[in-house]
A and B are shown apart, each in its own frame.
Chain A
Amino acid sequence: MNLIMTDTFAIELTDIDKRFGAVHANNKVCLQVKRGNIHGIVGENGAGKSTLMSILYGFYQADAGKIDVLGQAYTFTDTHQAIAAGIGMVHQHFMLVENFTVLENVILGSEGGALLANGLAAARKELTRLGDEYGLKVDLDATIDALSVGLQQRVEILKALYKGAKILILDEPTGVLTPQETDELFRIFAALKQQGVTIMLITHKLREIMSITDQVSVMRAGKMVAHRDTKDTSREELAELMVGRKVLLQVDKKPVDVRAPLMKVKRLTVSDNQGIDRLKDVSFELRAGEVLGVAGVSGNGQTELLEALSGIVQMTSGSIEVLGFKMDRKHPLTPDRLRELGLAHVPEDRHRMGLITDFSASESALLGYHSDPKINTGIWLSNRKVEANCQELMKAFDVRPADPHLKSANFSGGNQQKLILAREMERNPEVLLIGQPTRGVDIGAIEFIHQRIIDMRDAGKAVLLVSVELDEIMSVSDRIIVLCDGEITGRIDAADADERTLGMMMANALDPIDPLQTMDDQHASSKRASSQET
C-alpha cells in the first residue's frame, strides 16, 4: 500500500487526441485535476469539452493520449471500466429511464446478482445512507417522470456515488436549474468536496465558474488553451480566452417606440398528452415595435407557449387575438393560416423542427412557404424559383457556404440558424416568434442575429423572444416576462431587470401576480409599494 501522496492528481490527461471524420474534436489536450478540487472546464459549444469528458468516461475511445486516474494509467474501452476506476458522470441530458423508480435507475448495471430482489434491498440501504451523508434526499420509490428536474439530477448524482465514484464529472448541470436550485447544487458540491470527492464541472456559464471552482481550464476549437486558478482570473479574461478576442456582451439599440398591440394572449392554458397543464392561465400583450423577452429555465412552458401561439399545438382554454383574428380551442388557427396572416416562427429546435436536415438548403428554405403563389405557377413548383428564393435568403443573411444545393445538415449551427431566420424574417411578418435563437451558435453569428432582431423591432414589428440565456434576454428585450411552472411569475422592463431579480422570478420567489393585471398596473402598484416603504 503506497503512502497517499497529496500531490497525486485525481485526473491527468496527456495529449488526448480524437477526430470524428473531418472534425478534430480534441487536439492534443492536456489536463491535470487536483484531488479534492472543484475543477471547471469552460469553452464554447463545439470546443470539445463534452468529447473530452466522454473519453474520460469511456463512452468514446481517444485516438491517442494517456489517461491517469488517481495515479494509475488506464485505457477505457467502455464505461464499465471507467466506473470501476472511480469515475462518475452526470450528463447534460439525464440518463434515466422515465418509467422506472429511482431505485431501479440507480441499480441498473450494478444489480448485484441475477435476481433483483437482493440488489434492490441492498441499494435501498446504501442510498439512504448516502442521502443522509450528503444531503441528497430523494423518494426512492418515486418514478422518474414524477420528479422535478432538480430531483432527477440528484438521482443522477446518487447513481454515480452508488457506483463508487471518487471523481464526479458534471456536464452543464445548471442549464436546467433555477438560480436557487443551483445554489442547492453547489451546497451539495461543498459537502462532497469535504468527503474528498473530486468534482469536474463542464459549463459555459462563467459566473458559476467564478463562484464555485478552485481551478479552471479553457478549451477552444478542440485545444486546451489555458489553465488558471480561479482566484487569479475573471469573467472577462475567461470569455476572451474562450473566444479568442474581446467579446461584446451588450447590444446597442435605439430607445423603444411602442405602438399598437398585435397579439393579445388571454388566459392561455395548454396541457400535454397526459393532461398536465404546462401553461397555466397566461396573459400578456405583444406590441408592434418592441421585443418582449420570455425568460425562464427550459421546461417551464416556453415550448408550449411558442407552439400554441404558432398553431402547432392546440390550446386547452383561453384565447389568442393575433393580427385581427381570434383563435381559441373551438376555432383553432393552423400554422399555414397564421403565416398567411403575417406571423412567422423561428422554432427552438432547428434540427427537430426548423429545417429538414436531409433536404437541400433550398428545400429547407421553402418550409412553410411551399404554397407561396410567387414560387408556384399553377400546380408547378419551379425548382429554379425555389433556388432563387434560397439564394436571396442566403445573401440577405450572409449564410455560408451560399450553396442552395448543399444538404441542410452540412451547414454549421450558426449558418443553419441564419437560414431559418432569413426564411422567417425576409417574409416581412408583422409578428415574429423566436425560440432560443442563439443556441449552439458561435459568437460572431450571435451578434449578427441579435442585430437583425433589433432591426425588426425598429421597423415596427412585434417580436416575442424566448430564451434561457438571461444575458440575451436582458440585452435584446424591451420588456421581460418570466415563466415558471407554466405561469407568469414576473413582468419587468428590461431596463429595470438584473440577474438576481429575474432569478427570483424564475424560482417563483416573489409575491404572486394577478394574471389579468397589465404591465402598467403592476408598475403603478410596485411604485406605490416602494413609496410606502420610504
Chain B
Amino acid sequence: MSDIFLTVLLTLDATVRVSTPLILAAMAGLFAERSGVVDIGLEGKMLASAFAAASVAAVVGSPWAGLGVAVIVSCALAMLHGFATITHRGDQIVSGMAINILVGGLTIILGLAWFHQGGLTPALNNDSRFLSITLPYAEQLAYIPVLGPIYKELISGHNILVYLAFAVVPMVWWVVFRTRFGLRLRAVGENPTAVDTAGLSVIKLRYKALLVGGVLCGVAGAYIATAHNAQFTRDMTAGQGYIALAALIFGKWRPLTVMLACLLFGFLDALAVRLQGVIIPGIGEIPVQFIEATPYLLTVILLAGFIGRAIPPKASGMAYVKER
C-alpha cells in the first residue's frame, strides 16, 4: 500500500518539476494572447534564456546572475517580436517562428565560439545552480502518516523557481482580473479600437504585455538550464514552448485552468517516464521512442478539441490598424 503511495507521490513530485517551465511559459503566452498578440516564440525565448542563464552562471558562478541576464535576453526577444508584429504589423506566427529558428542556431554558434564544447555550455557546479530547498521541519514531520510524506516529498525539496512559478499563477489572475492594467489588457485583446477611442495606447499596452511575457519566459529558461539541469544543451526546450501554448488553449486563457492544464501535461509526461522499462502484460516493454513521443501525442489529442472548442480573445492574431 505504501509502495504505491510513494510511487504516486514521487510521480507527482516529478510532475511539479516538469510542469514548472510549462506554467511560466503559459502565463507568458497568456499575457500576450489576452492582449491580442499570438506568441509562438515562447520556445525561442525559453531556449535563449536557458543559454544565457547557463552561460552567465558558468562564467560568473551565480545562478541569480544567470537568471537576471536570462530575463534581459528574453525581454529583448519579446521586444523584437513586438517590433515586428505591433509596430510593423508583421505576421505574428512568422515572427515567432523566425525568433525560434534564429535562437536555435544562434545558441549553438555562440556556445561553440565561447565555450568550444560543441554547443554545450560548461557543466555547472552546485554553487552556480538553483538547488532544492528543504522547507522547515520536513524531516521531522515526515513521520506523520500521509501528510508527512506529502510535505516532505511533494511540497518541500523544490528549488525556489518552482515555488515562484506556482506563486505567479494567482498573481497573474489578480493582475488580469482585478487591476486597471488587466482590464485594459483584456479590452485590447477583444476590441482594440474601443481602447484606442478611449484615449489609451493600444501599442503601449501590447508591448507591456509582451514585456511581462518576456520576464516569465526568462525565468522558465533559466529554470530549465540552471535548476532542472546543470548546463545548456542543443534544443533543450524540446517543444515545451509549443506545449505551453497548447495548455493555454486547453485552459481557455484563464490562469487557474491553464495551470491545471500544464500540470496535466506534466503528470502524463512524468507518468510516461515512469513506465519506461516497465513490462505491460500482453504488450511487452514500451519502446523508449513511444515514451519520448508522449507529450507531443498528448498535445495533439488535447488540441483535437475533445473537450470542446476554445474561443480565443476576439482580436487575437490581428495587427491593429487605425481604420480610415
Q: Which residues of A contact B (CB under 8 A)?
A: 20, 57-60, 78-83, 89, 91, 95-100, 104-105, 107-111, 113-117, 119
Contact partner, A113, options B180, B186, B187, B190, Cβ 8 Å? B180
Q: Mark B165-203, 1 if CB is under 8 A from A, else 0.
A: 000000000000011111110110011011111111100
Q: Which residues of B contact A (CB under 8 A)?
A: 178-184, 186-187, 190-191, 193-201, 314, 322, 324
CB–CB B195/A115 < 8 A: no
14 A-B pairs within 8 Å (CB atoms) are namely A58-B199, A80-B199, A91-B197, A95-B194, A96-B191, A97-B190, A97-B194, A98-B191, A100-B186, A108-B198, A111-B180, A114-B181, A116-B182, A117-B178
Chain A proximity of B52: nearest CB distance (Å) = 32
Q: Given contact pairs A100-B186, A115-B180, enumerate 13 new A-B contacts (beta carbons under 8 Å).
A: A57-B197, A58-B199, A79-B199, A80-B199, A83-B198, A95-B198, A97-B191, A105-B194, A108-B184, A109-B199, A111-B183, A114-B181, A115-B179
Chain A proximity of B204: nearest CB distance (Å) = 11
CB–CB B195/A109 < 8 A: yes
Q: What 9 pairs across the A-B complex have the smallest Cβ distances?
A: A109-B198, A80-B199, A95-B194, A79-B199, A111-B180, A95-B197, A97-B190, A97-B191, A97-B187
Q: Which of B179, B187, B196, B199 has the most CB of A within 10 A?
A: B199
Contact partner, A115, options B178, B184, B201, Cβ 8 Å? B178
Cα A78 to Cα B181 in complex, Å, equals 19
Residues of A within 8 A of B181 (CB): 114
Residues of A within 8 A of B179 (CB): 114-116
CB–CB A99/B194 < 8 A: no
Cα A99 to Cα B191 in complex, Å, equals 10
Chain A proximity of B314: nearest CB distance (Å) = 7
User: Chain B residue with minimal CB distance to A78?
Assistant: B199
User: Chain B residue with minimal CB distance to A83?
Assistant: B199
User: Chain B residue with minimal CB distance to A82?
Assistant: B199
User: Chain A residue with minimal CB distance to B190?
Assistant: A97
CB–CB B178/A100 < 8 A: no
Residues of A within 8 A of B183 (CB): 104, 107-108, 111, 116
Cα A91 to Cα B197 in complex, Å, equals 9
Contact partner, B187, options A20, A82, A100, A115, Cβ 8 Å? A100
User: Chain B residue with minimal CB distance to A91?
Assistant: B197
CB–CB A79/B180 < 8 A: no
Cα A530 to Cα B59 in complex, Å, equals 98
CB–CB B178/A109 < 8 A: no
Chain B proximity of A410: nearest CB distance (Å) = 14
Residues of A within 8 A of B191 (CB): 95-98
CB–CB B180/A99 < 8 A: no
Chain B proximity of A103: nearest CB distance (Å) = 11
Cα A335 to Cα B324 in complex, Å, equals 32
Residues of B within 8 A of A91 (CB): 197
Cα A20 to Cα B201 in complex, Å, equals 22
CB–CB B197/A96 < 8 A: no
User: Chain A residue with minimal CB distance to B193?
Assistant: A95
Cα A19 to Cα B197 in complex, Å, equals 21
Cα A97 to Cα B186 in complex, Å, equals 9
CB–CB B197/A59 < 8 A: yes
CB–CB A98/B322 < 8 A: no
Residues of B within 8 A of A115 (CB): 178-180
CB–CB B190/A59 < 8 A: no
Residues of B within 8 A of A97 (CB): 186-187, 190-191, 194
